[in-house]
A and B are shown apart, each in its own frame.
Chain A
Amino acid sequence: MQPVGAAAPLRVDIAEKTFRSSEGVSVTALKNLAFEVRQGEFACLVGPSGCGKTTTLRILLGLDTDFSGSFQMPASDDGRIAAVFQEPTLLPWRTVEQNVRLALPKAMRHTDLTRLFDSLGLSQMRELYPSELSLGLARRVALARAFAVEPTVLFLDEPFVSLDDQTAERLRYLVLSVWSARPTTALMVTHNVREALMLSDRIILLSARPAHVLGYFDIRIPRESRNPQVMSDLARSFRQKFPGVMQAEMGYP
């Protein structure tokens, strides 16, 4: 039951985005950045750090309107969007459950969240305050909040950054399983190519500043069959298609 028009892709066509510092120095962050994310597709925006990935996300979230160009969200009646920020950004004065419920539209405020909390391993934490959570758990709450909204588009800004490898890996699997239960158009920003190869249908590779699209890397292998062997094959073909990118810019071994 998709709302009418939800089949439209997320279309981005940003002509230019420039930051001006107070000293009058201007830095062009994005230039002729154009790409599409098809409906129901999990896309990753990969690029060297500082290239303007987060800036792109902020523009799409409507948090930064000072740019030239346009973008088009998949049209739908209410067109809800959800975002997981680099930091969990939970309200410290509200409990875990309140944090999730507050993000829901009025009509959904009292929906049953048991399954969502269960699937993210948060059922015991519903009454805790964010200050009582580790970063990994706080990230899970931020993810729960985003998924609870049942968005038409989901934006993720490096949701696994600054976690230890084990926690990050577990969180990636959690995200995969929750997302697969209800696949929505998703755009994730990351500088970790391996993570992108594991999670996404399509990688959009950005250049260094000013960012534009260098190329696409489509992954047609279903996620559940991406075992270590397949992953290293994917990494090899990614390296062949974009030589030099992984080692130099993204610290990939």
Chain B
Amino acid sequence: MNLEHHDRARDIEPLTEAQPRRRSFSSIAPALTVIVSLAGLYLLWSVAASLWPSRAFPHPDQVWVVLVQDTLNGELPYNLAITLARVFAAFVVAMVIGSVIGILLGIYNRADQFFNPWVVLFLNIPALVIIVLAYIWFGLNEVAAIGAVAVNKIPNVVVTMREGARALDPRYAEMAKVYRFSAFDRLRHILLPQLQPYFAASARTGIALIWKIVLVVELLGRSNGVGFQIHLYFQLFDVAAILAYTLAFVAIMLFIELLLVQPFERYATRWRRRAA
């Protein structure tokens, strides 16, 4: 109890610590480094753009103008939302299906021996092939698009979750058996907490991979979304717009990482941080 209070107090009032100046500086230092680093990139880009002025290499300010313009006329938010929805759908489908398959393969050795070649095969099929085949077989529709992205990601999730299921500690399962835990309690209190680090790992790599594939899917067979817009501006040779869309999308994905993924991870591992 004391420990907890102490921690909380430190979070709220960092200046009451023994060495206030040092502490406050070290707490903002990482953020400061990021800002300086990004400013450096901006500067380098501006200098390069003014040294070699070209339509194919716009000044960052031009990119900013396009970004503001497309935000105001609604184009950018609309396409971002469409793409994000696809990312989200594909992510959920891939995580659920991949986790179930991966956990089963990790637990049942026989099944793993049989299906392992399939996993290896799917791991090595290029994303592009899966997308093209999905569009040919299922038509140029939303289901084919999201399905293709999910199928690309599923083998990675399977491999990670299979590792997790293999690392399960049998003692907890035995304890649960002796005390007659219900199936739901076993899932919630025994299985999922042990797999949490593996969920986190595959979710992290999952989001990074999925949003890149979603752009390709949109480029090849959809008439909206960030991928489609980039394709359009590629044909118009409008590099400023391409960069504007890219930056906006990267920024959104970083926000999701910072505001959703990381806080959730901190919550899920709260029992570990307080280790004595």
Q: Known contacts being A131-B275, A132-B275, is A91 close to B190, with CB within 8 Å?
A: yes
- Contacts A93-B193, A132-B274; A87 near B178 (Cβ below 8 A): no
Q: Are A87 and B171 in contact, CB atoms less than 8 angstroms apart? A: yes
Which residue of A63, A124, A131 contacts B271 across the interface (Cβ within 8 Å)? A131
Residues on B with C-beta less than 8 A from A93 are 189, 193, 196, 271
Interface size of B as a range: 20 to 34
Contact of A102 with B by CB under 8 A: yes
Q: With a CB–CB cut-off of 8 A, which chain B residues contact A83?
A: 175, 178
Contacts of B196 in A (CB 8 A): 93
CA distance A85 to B181 in the complex (A): 17
Which residues does chain A contribute within 8 Å of B271, judged by CB atoms?
92-94, 129, 131
In the assembled complex, A72 has its CB within 8 A of some CB on chain B: no
Chain B residues within an 8 Å CB radius of A63: 174, 177-178
Chain B CB within 8 A of A82 CB:
yes
Query: B185: shortest Cβ distance to chain A, in Å?
Result: 7
In contact, A105 and B180 (Cβ under 8 angstroms): yes
Residues of B224-276 at the interface with A, using a CB-CB cut-off of 8 Å, are 271-272, 274-276
- With beta carbons under 8 angstroms apart, the residue of B177, B181, B275 that contacts A102 is B181
A87 to B196, CA, bound (A): 23
Q: Cβ of A62 and Cβ of B177 under 8 Å apart?
A: yes
B138 lies within 8 A of chain A by Cβ: no
Quick one: which of A102-116 are within 8 Å of B by CB?
A: 102-103, 105-106
Chain A's interface: helix, strand, loop or mixed, by majority? loop
Chain A residue at minimal CB-CB distance from B182: A106
Contact with B along A57-93 (1 / 0, CB 8 A): 0000111000000000000000011110101010111
> What mask results when residues 187 to 206 of chain B are scored 1 for a CB within 8 Å of chain A, else 0?
00110010010000000000
Using an 8 Å CB-CB cutoff, how does the interface string of B1-31 with A read, 1 for contact, 0 for none?
A: 1011000000000000000000000000000
Q: What's the least CB distance linking B186 to chain A, in Å?
A: 10
Nearest B residue to A62, CB-CB: B177
**A82 x B193 contact (CB < 8 A):** no
Interface check B179, CB cutoff 8 A: yes
Shortest Cβ distance from residue A152 to the other chain B in the assembled complex, whole angstroms:
13
Q: In the bound complex, how far is the Cα of B2 from the Cα of A124, in angstroms?
A: 11
Determine whether B172 belongs to the interface, using a CB cutoff of 8 Å to chain A: yes
Q: Which residue of A lies closest to B190 (CB)?
A: A91
Measured in the bound complex, the distance between the Cα atoms of B177 and A63 in whole Å is: 8
Q: B210 to nearest A CB, angstroms?
A: 28
Sort chain A's interface into a size bin: 20 to 34
Q: Write out the residue numbers on chain B whose beta carbons fall within 8 Å of the beta carbon of A92.
A: 271-272
Set of chain A residues within 8 Å of B4, measured between Cβ atoms: 127
Whether A81 contacts B178 by the Cβ 8 Å rule is yes
A14 to chain B, nearest CB (A): 19
Asked if residues A131 and B272 are in contact (CB atoms below 8 Å), the reply is yes
**A145 to B174 alpha-carbon distance, docked (Å):** 15
Residue of B174, B189, B276 near A91 (CB, 8 A) is: B189
Q: A149 an interface residue at 8 Å Cβ cutoff?
A: yes
User: A87 → chain B, closest Cβ, in Å?
Assistant: 7
Residues of A within 8 A of B178 (CB): 61-63, 81-83
Of chain A, the residue at the smallest CB distance from B192 is: A93
Query: Is the pair B189, A127 in contact by a Cβ cutoff of 8 Å?
Result: no
CB distance from B218 to the nearest CB of A (A): 39
Instruction: Find chain B residues with CB under 8 A from A149 CB.
Output: 179
Is there an interface contact between A103 and B190, defined as CB atoms closer than 8 Å?
A: no
Q: Are B171 and A85 in contact (CB under 8 A)?
A: yes
Q: Are B179 and A132 in contact (CB under 8 A)?
A: no
Give the residues in chain B near A82, CB-CB below 8 Å.
178-179
Complex formed: what's the CA distance from A106 to B196 in Å? 25
**Would you call B175 and A131 a contact (CB within 8 A)?**
no
- Assembled-state Cα–Cα distance A108/B203 (Å): 37
Q: Who on chain B is nearest to A129 by CB?
A: B271
What 8 pairs between A and B have smallest CB-CB spacing? A103-B179, A93-B193, A131-B275, A129-B271, A93-B271, A132-B276, A89-B175, A83-B178
- Sample 23 A-B pairs with CB under 8 A, ordered by A number: A61-B174, A61-B178, A62-B177, A63-B178, A83-B178, A89-B175, A91-B189, A92-B271, A92-B272, A93-B193, A93-B196, A94-B189, A94-B193, A94-B271, A102-B179, A102-B185, A106-B182, A127-B1, A131-B272, A131-B274, A131-B276, A132-B275, A145-B179
A interface residues, Cβ below 8 angstroms from B: 61-63, 80-83, 85, 87, 89, 91-94, 102-103, 105-106, 124, 127, 129, 131-133, 145, 149
| Residue ranges of B at the interface with A (Cβ–Cβ < 8 Å) | 1, 3-4, 171-172, 174-175, 177-182, 185, 189-190, 193, 196, 271-272, 274-276
